[in-house]
Amino acid sequence: MSLWERIATETNGEAYATAYAERFRALAADGSDIHGEAGLVTALAGPPPARVLDAGCGTGRIAVHLASLGFEVVGADVDASMLRVAEQEAPTLDWRVVDLATMDLGQLFDLLLVAGNVIPLLEPGTLDAVAARLAAHTDGGGLVVCGFGLDEDHLPGDCPVTPLADVDAAFSRAGLQPVERWATWDRGPWVDGGGYVVTSHRRAPPGDQP
């Protein structure tokens, strides 16, 4: 059983996934901006049809919106129940049930998005493997953009904190170097010790790789 399954043991499954998707639809109906992640992707990835992997896509909220903007999008998640809801929303999109630690999609992307606390919800001991697989799917010069909580106020119950320094170190070992970091998806300024981080790492272009 994965860390995600252990933490969400009473709530995971298709009923939870459906309720999760409905919550964001309700927020959008009330006028809330639910596309902060997609806004940052649009600013960083270059114009459509840039290739984007939504790694840990859940019910597909971000992937579906990016596809509507013209991006070439693949949505990947370990939770098949989440992807079933995503497929109902957008049956023609490319959805993949994969473990990020062993992911092999056979293609490269201009930007990989890892949102929704995917990083701290990784199975313990797999951060290096996930970083390596993310790097392996990033085109030269491409970006990996992650957003995740750094304290209990920004994490689901019983989810351990993954220190930012550990993420930077794992990504560096995988050939991904830090570029920028912010406190919010709309690029609010980062302050050391913040409870939430959005961080970008770049894979060096082919001629610059060791």
| pLDDT above 70 as % of the chain | 82
* pLDDT of res. 24: 46
Tell me, yes or no, if the pTM score tops 0.95: no
Instruction: For residue 205, name the pLDDT band (cuts at 50, 70, 90).
Output: confident
pLDDT tens digits for range 86-115: 999 999 999 999 999 999 999 999 999 999
Show the tokens assigned to 24. 């964001």
Residue 21 pLDDT > 70, yes or no? Answer: no
Residue 76 pLDDT > 50, yes or no? Answer: yes
Cβ contacts of residue 95 below 8 Å, gap of 6+? 57, 60, 74, 75, 76, 77, 83, 86, 87
Residue 16 pLDDT > 50, yes or no? Answer: yes
Residue 5 pLDDT > 70, yes or no? Answer: no
Q: Compute the Cα dihedral for 178, 43, 66, 9 and give only its sign.
A: positive
Provide DSSP, 26-79: HHHHTT----HHHHHHHHHH-STT-EEEEET-TT-HHHHHHHHTT-EEEEEES-
Q: Could you state, in order of their start, the residue ranges of all structural domains in the chain?
A: 3-208
HSE at residue 123, side-chain half, CA atoms within 13 A, is: 11
How far is C-alpha 159 from the geometric centre of its chain's CA atoms?
17
Residue 27 pLDDT > 60, yes or no? Answer: no
**In 3D, which of 150, 147, 134 has the Cα closest to residue 202?**
134
| Three-class secondary structure of residue 140 per DSSP | strand
Give the architecture (CATH level 2) of 3-208: 3-Layer(aba) Sandwich (3.40)
* pLDDT of res. 36: 79
- Cis (ω within 30 of 0) for the bond into 49? yes
**In 3D, which of 58, 115, 65, 52 has the Cα closest to residue 86?**
58
For 20-24, 118-122, 125-129, 163-167, which range has the lowest pLDDT when averaged over its residues? 20-24
Ramachandran quadrant class, 141 (left: phi over 0; alpha: psi -120 to 50; beta: rest): left
Residue 13 pLDDT > 70, yes or no? Answer: no
Distances from the Cα of 70 to the Cαs of 49, 66, 145, in angstroms? 6, 7, 19
Are 107 and 137 a contacting pair, CB within 8 Å?
Answer: yes
How far is C-alpha 152 from the geometric centre of its chain's CA atoms?
19
Cβ contacts of residue 123 below 8 Å, gap of 6+? 2, 3, 101
